[in-house]
Structure 1
Amino acid sequence: MTAPIPRKKLIEVSIPLEAINAESSRRKQKAPKGYPTAIHKYWAQRPVAACRAILFAQLVDDPSAWPDRFPTVAEQEAERQRLHRIMERMCLWDSSNVDSIMNLARWEIARSVAWALGEEPPSKDDRRATLKYLEAKAPPVYDPFSGGASIPLEAQRLGLRAFGSDLNPVAVVIGKSLIEIPPKFSGFAPVNPKARAELGRGASWNSRGAQGLADDVRFYANWMREEAIKRIGHLYPTAPMPDGAQGTVVAWLWARTIKSPDPAARGAMVPLVSTFLLSSKEGRKVWVVPETDEAAPDGYKFVVKSGIPNKTDESRIRNGTKSGRGSNFTCLLTGSPISDEYVKSEGMAGRIGVRLLAIVAEVNRVRSYVSPTESHEVVAAEATPDWEPDGTLPNDPRSFWTVQYGLNTYASIFTKRQLTALTTLADLVREACQKITSDAKTAGMPDDDAPLNSGGSGATAYAQAVATYLALVVDRMVFYGSSLCGWLTKDNAMGKSMPQQGLAMSWDFAEGNPFGKSSSDITTCAKAVADCLDEINCPSPGVVTQTDASRIEYGSQYVVSTDPPYYDNIGYADLSDFFYVWLRPMLGDIYPDIFRTLATPKESELVASPYRQGGSDAAEEFFMLGMRNAISRLAKGNSAYPITIYYAFKQQEQSQIGITSAGWASFLQAIIDAGLGVDGTWPIRTENPSRSIAQGTNALASSIVLVCRKRAADALTITRAEFIRLLRRELPEAIDDIRKAGVGPVDMQQSVIGPGMGIFSRHAKVLEDDDSAMTVKTALAIINRVWEEIDQELDAVFDPETQVALAWFATFGFDARSSGELITLANAKNISTNALFDSEVFEDLRGKAALTPREKLPDDWLPSKDRTLTIWECVQHTARVLNAKDGGAEAAGRLVAQMGPAGDQARKLAYRLFEIATQKGWSQEALIYNELAQEWSHLEETGTHVSQPTIRPAQAVFDL
């Protein structure tokens, strides 16, 4: 087979970025049923919309690569927009199993592969032929840092052979569960007795993909539940409800306690409570009131109240016994302070206890809060686990905050009852595996005794596959089943052990009932895992291995797309041990090579970890060397295709916009040192915009996808002055293309890095005045400075009215100032103030002047009727109409269509106004211009479909 010649791919020219970002953000806010990230917790997992779209654009040719088929610029752009529309539909999660959409996406990839090989593509309507062609002729996709396996999973969904690897054993198990096991047993009927009985009565199994596996996961998880209840059900009693009924407990809410340092408390153990509020629902809040009771332990008890608390009690309820930051509290009995240092010393001495705050129980699907009872505290204390997970927590204060309070082992962050439940269920995973093997043989599944890890596909391997998912179910229970899980008062639900990227101390915590109806119960956890399997219908094979990325020997056939570690953002290995210590006892016999060590490998983990590597300088050097080695190896992949590499920004890096960020600069430096050139950058929104840090702001995209190609062997060396000249010559057109591609103003600075670094990285070196090689950090600063200069030069191209308005806006916004200020600005642009008033850009306030507010602009304005049309008016009227109740995209599109040549300049002005508003801190104004700029391409398209008045020649002349 002749290797395809390198051709420009769609991702190197244009992608429908806003549609991809919208879907990515949507799924971060609320992951739908069956979304693959729910199969197991992992960190910094990319949204499938982004992975799917990036892979598609990485493999599909840009129309400009085929001038014989698309000879004109117009034809190329029309084809490009057609591909964009496919991507917009394809990237939606709801399209994942819609054959008509996914088959079209697969065929487009097959077409590009076929054309490059000089062959005809298979029939567009023949799904099987397209899949067969892709498996035989399309390059396989490799992700050497596969993590949560989002990239190889989406490669599979696109009909491509998928390969992933990771050093982290937890990531490897996740990858196997998503891309390796499902295709192996695709289409298999379930083997459990219930399903066999139904099939024996004449029912047929006509489901697809891994739905048979999913059915068995649900069945055998329920079998584990029933077996566990027989063994430890007595530890989970019902709760007496106010009406005398017995309710199924959802969760027990506990507070940690400590001996009061005040002698007046007579050695009482007092609660450390961050809040007494249990439910914050308006009109029916629920809270705990501590009351004096000489008969109760330590002289107090907790009573649950509900309704509307009085204002005097609100602060006490909200803050509990917490006092300020850290672990500072107040003694419940005497009001004396309990210092952070005292709490830590008592914790390290093992003298922190617990006290039951309240019980959450349910009857007939109605959830209620009841006061604690002594019997429930006693039964919890009776639990004695047969074994505990091994391992000591790392002494890393960046991510592990329980160690300083004496909770320094993995076992110590669970209550004895939690340990009893989890160890019992972990043991049952192994028992279930034996039962599934027997049931599979009874169901008629052949068995060669070959284990799953050795490529087996019979009854033994199938049972081990189901057991793998059952272990993930238990691990999900671990995630919702430690003493670090808070109670979510807004949602009346269990919190997680690790809501952030670390293990934080929780002073009051929720202990879920594994046999109740909460996020921590086995039925709920099994449903989440099985639902993921239901949605996996990937036709191509996949393989995930445990491999160090810096030691991989790539074949030249692979297309590489990867999401590597981000400098010092996340300590994957340390965090993964929280799960590994549970997975190892359950899956060690099934995957002996993956679980051969007591903990996850750490010495070779490619992150900058000062506590492990001896300081920040040594950590940076370690990261740089390792990343350079890893990228040097992946650069040996298929040269006919670009490489895509994700980089995730931390929030502090976003505020620096990548200029002074050590992680960002080091990452780019490693790419360039590895012999790659940066061909483009696409900002992807992969974080939840509802986060407090992003609300009401123009938050930057949280990831950048870098598009890279191998640098030419004969690349030239240039000087700093030549680099700047090239930037000034090439960036304006590149910036214009980025805007036309729909990149919003908020993401421009990150996007401009692409063409800027493209110029820098296509050269062997850029020499400074002293002949030293320019660093990436310096190049980034220069690129940003030149970009700002280009934008400022654009101001002079606008019409005089717009220039004056822009200068006024940059200084005063929409505020009124004396007319003398306007006269000065008008004289500088050689225009009269009367002309500014007549144009309706400014309003005359009798001795004062101001920009005309959007709400005062005439509702009947049309570009075709305005004889003094200005770019300023075009922007402000379009923004007004787009956001009006009786306006919207169609009305705004009609205005844009009438602007003619002025429309392109109006788009540029929207970007400029966003930058000014952002610099001034006018967040609401900046949001308006960001939305307008992002929507401009859609408005242009909308405008072509609505009827337009004829523009008279005199009005149409707008030569800028």
Structure 2
Amino acid sequence: MALPLDAINREAAREKSIRHGHPSTLHLWWARRPLAACRAVVCASLWPDPADGNCPLIDPEIEATERAKLFDLIEELVKWENRNNPRVINAARLEIARSIAANKVADKELKDDTPLVANAPSLPEEQAKYLPKPPKEYTAHDLRFKMPSLTPEQVNHFLAHYAPPVLDPFAGGGAIPLEAMRLGCETTAVDINPVAWFILKCTLEYPQKLAGQTRLLPEFILHNDTFMAEFFKKAKGYGKAETRAALKRLHDRFKKKPKRKAKDDQISFQFQQEPDEADNELQADLAWHVPAWGQWVLDRARRELAQYYPTYADFEPIKKDEIAYEHQPMRLVPLKGDGTPDIDSFNDEFTQEYLDDKRNPRWVAKPTVAYLWARTVPCKNCRATIPLLKTRWLCKKSNNRVLLTMEPNAEKSGVTFGVQYNVPVVGGNTAQRREHDKRIGAGTMSRAGADCPCCGLKTIMTMEDIRVVGQVSELG
């Protein structure tokens, strides 16, 4: 087998930086193969090599020319922008159909002049219902010699009825079966991992079965003005005035029909039901149902987990024009019933007129952008909880030096953390500055073991002690 490896490797490397529209953004799969490479390998597995002595298609005198043509086609096929290019995809499918037809004629499974539509083997009902109407009659001879009268519909018909199936028993993220389907092959993808199974269902089965179909958006998302405004704008093509009018119609509808609080097990996925043509304005395809249900999952997760991810508020103006105001310590924001921060409860003391002026300070929620965590171990001397940190530097850039501070708490049972900003640079030369930074940023852990910040003993826990604690499941 020969392949244009340089072109394939180049496109496979380029694909790693592509995010929009790539299946990898749907869900992480650790061993996902590049789509470009899979597309090329599927073709190479189904096309005959013109230089192979067993090739039933090629005249030895033109094998070099034919191989060059196939190389050129693969180089076009592996490009990301050609993944849905009808001209390129149809050319690849024709080569696959041509190869299969030639092999079947050579093996006497088909005759050159056999009408392939009239004699097509029957397919299972579940598979046949997704196929278009049969095309005009054609023969294996038309495929083998790529007759000008041959149409893409005839090629697709041949692949659906005569092509051997492509089976991937360890499909994982589904790159190989996806590309086999793209090239017109009947494909079976299997994986024992439930995450992989779900990825395969969402990337291979649902889009194919539900393409072009619409269903009514679920009722819970109709109450989300942000989502619905985006839906009316992008899916329906409404302008600003039309979007406002559509949202008003929704609000009026809710007044007549109050929102029902459905239990989680009573919510059904509309695409499992038959289409309802009663309300065309709220009909959406699968591409809109997915983010709608994603919002449902997000709302549930926020409600259940918000208490573990607190939000704090700063007292500051929204529009900062160097106006003097009294700074106040950050405050923990209480939560609403849906898990969102209730910042309004902090600003109830201010009038609406005061809040309308963005130069006036008020409490502003500051969502946490990152969480730092560390393993912990109990000190064998004082039993305080020791965080195992190799360094306390959070940022050590020349213009942004931030250090994590750590002091014993009042009970000496653990430590209280803080953040020191604008840490000064100390030292006359680079070596002195490096040594000073190493000393003030030292954590509690080194190769020798762990120091206890509460009782002050150095290397109170050796690495062997820490290993033993971990073995008895006391490592935090």
Return the match for 1:255 from 368, 374, 379. 374
Corresponding letter in the other structure for 2:11: E
Aligned to 1:329: 450
Corresponding letter in the other structure for 2:371: W
Is the CA contact (8 Å cut-off) linking 1:293 and 1:301 kept in structure 2? no
Give the TM-score taking structure 2 as reference length: 0.58
Is the CA contact (8 Å cut-off) linking 1:20 and 1:50 kept in structure 2? yes
Corresponding letter in the other structure for 2:464: E
- Relative to structure 1, the CA distance from residue 45 to residue 220 in structure 2 (aligned partners, 3 Å threshold; closer, same or farther) is closer
Aligned to 1:269: 385
- Relative to structure 1, the CA distance from residue 230 to residue 330 in structure 2 (aligned partners, 3 Å threshold; closer, same or farther) is closer
User: Which whole-Å CA distance do the structure 1 matches of 2:160 and 2:90 have between them?
Assistant: 14
Report the Cα offset of residue 272 of structure 1: 0.6
Return the match for 1:239 from 305, 309, 312. 312
**Does 2:36 correspond to 1:49?**
yes
Report the Cα offset of residue 177 of structure 1: 2.7
Give the paired residue count.
328
Aligned to 2:236: 203
Aligned to 2:92: 105
Aligned to 2:5: 17
Is the CA contact (8 Å cut-off) linking 2:50 and 2:66 kept in structure 1? yes
- Relative to structure 1, the CA distance from residue 99 to residue 260 in structure 2 (aligned partners, 3 Å threshold; closer, same or farther) is same
Is the CA contact (8 Å cut-off) linking 1:289 and 1:305 kept in structure 2? no
Return the match for 2:461 from 338, 345, 350. 338
- Relative to structure 1, the CA distance from residue 242 to residue 45 in structure 2 (aligned partners, 3 Å threshold; closer, same or farther) is same
Corresponding letter in the other structure for 2:370: A
RCO higher in structure (CA 8 A, sep ≥6): 1
Alignment of 1:709-748 (within 5 A): none
Report the Cα offset of residue 71 of structure 1: 4.2
- Relative to structure 1, the CA distance from residue 173 to residue 300 in structure 2 (aligned partners, 3 Å threshold; closer, same or farther) is closer
- Relative to structure 1, the CA distance from residue 39 to residue 79 in structure 2 (aligned partners, 3 Å threshold; closer, same or farther) is same
Corresponding letter in the other structure for 2:63: Q
Is the CA contact (8 Å cut-off) linking 1:275 and 1:317 kept in structure 2? no
Return the match for 2:165 from 114, 127, 140. 140
**SS of corresponding position for 2:444:** coil
Report the Cα offset of residue 225 of structure 1: 2.7
Aligned to 1:745: none
Report the Cα offset of residue 233 of structure 1: 3.9
User: Which whole-Å CA distance do the structure 2 matches of 1:280 and 1:214 have between them?
Assistant: 44
User: Which whole-Å CA distance do the structure 2 matches of 1:166 and 1:224 have between them?
Assistant: 25
Q: Deviations 1:880-930 (Å, cap 9, x if unpaired)?
A: xxxxxxxxxxxxxxxxxxxxxxxxxxxxxxxxxxxxxxxxxxxxxxxxxxx
Report the Cα offset of residue 21 of structure 1: 2.0
Corresponding letter in the other structure for 1:215: W
**Does 2:419 correspond to 1:303?**
yes
Is the CA contact (8 Å cut-off) linking 2:450 and 2:458 kept in structure 1? no
User: Which whole-Å CA distance do the structure 1 matches of 2:396 and 2:94 have between them?
Assistant: 52
**Does 2:46 correspond to 1:59?**
yes
Stretches of structure 1 lacking an aligned partner (at least 5 in a row): 1-11, 206-210, 354-960
Aligned to 1:928: none
Of all paired residues, the percent bearing the same amino acid is: 32
Is the CA contact (8 Å cut-off) linking 1:20 and 1:49 kept in structure 2? yes
Q: Deviations 1:706-746 (Å, cap 9, x if unpaired)?
A: xxxxxxxxxxxxxxxxxxxxxxxxxxxxxxxxxxxxxxxxx
Q: Deviations 1:468-493 (Å, cap 9, x if unpaired)?
A: xxxxxxxxxxxxxxxxxxxxxxxxxx
CA RMSD, aligned part only?
3.8
**SS of corresponding position for 1:215:** helix
- Relative to structure 1, the CA distance from residue 191 to residue 204 in structure 2 (aligned partners, 3 Å threshold; closer, same or farther) is farther
User: Which whole-Å CA distance do the structure 1 matches of 2:473 and 2:6 have between them?
Assistant: 53
User: Which whole-Å CA distance do the structure 1 matches of 2:90 and 2:438 have between them?
Assistant: 58
- Relative to structure 1, the CA distance from residue 45 to residue 159 in structure 2 (aligned partners, 3 Å threshold; closer, same or farther) is same
User: Which whole-Å CA distance do the structure 1 matches of 2:70 and 2:423 have between them?
Assistant: 57
| Greater helix content | 1
Stretches of structure 2 lacking an aligned partner (at least 5 in a row): 106-111, 113-139, 239-283, 317-327, 329-363, 426-432
**Does 2:180 correspond to 1:155?**
yes
Give the TM-score taking structure 1 as reference length: 0.31
Alignment of 1:855-874 (within 5 A): none
Aligned to 1:287: 403
Return the match for 1:219 from 261, 274, 292. 292
Deviating above 6 A after TM superposition, structure 1's stretches of 4 or more consecutive aligned residues are 195-202
Report the Cα offset of residue 350 of structure 1: 4.6
**SS of corresponding position for 1:147:** coil
- Relative to structure 1, the CA distance from residue 307 to residue 222 in structure 2 (aligned partners, 3 Å threshold; closer, same or farther) is farther
User: Which whole-Å CA distance do the structure 1 matches of 2:170 and 2:21 have between them?
Assistant: 23
Alignment of 1:292-441 (within 5 A): 298=414, 300-306=416-422, 310-315=433-438, 320-324=443-447, 328-332=449-453, 333-353=456-476
Is the CA contact (8 Å cut-off) linking 1:256 and 1:272 kept in structure 2? yes
Report the Cα offset of residue 56 of structure 1: 0.4
Report the Cα offset of residue 53 of structure 1: 0.6
- Relative to structure 1, the CA distance from residue 147 to residue 230 in structure 2 (aligned partners, 3 Å threshold; closer, same or farther) is closer
- Relative to structure 1, the CA distance from residue 235 to residue 323 in structure 2 (aligned partners, 3 Å threshold; closer, same or farther) is closer
Report the Cα offset of residue 111 of structure 1: 2.6
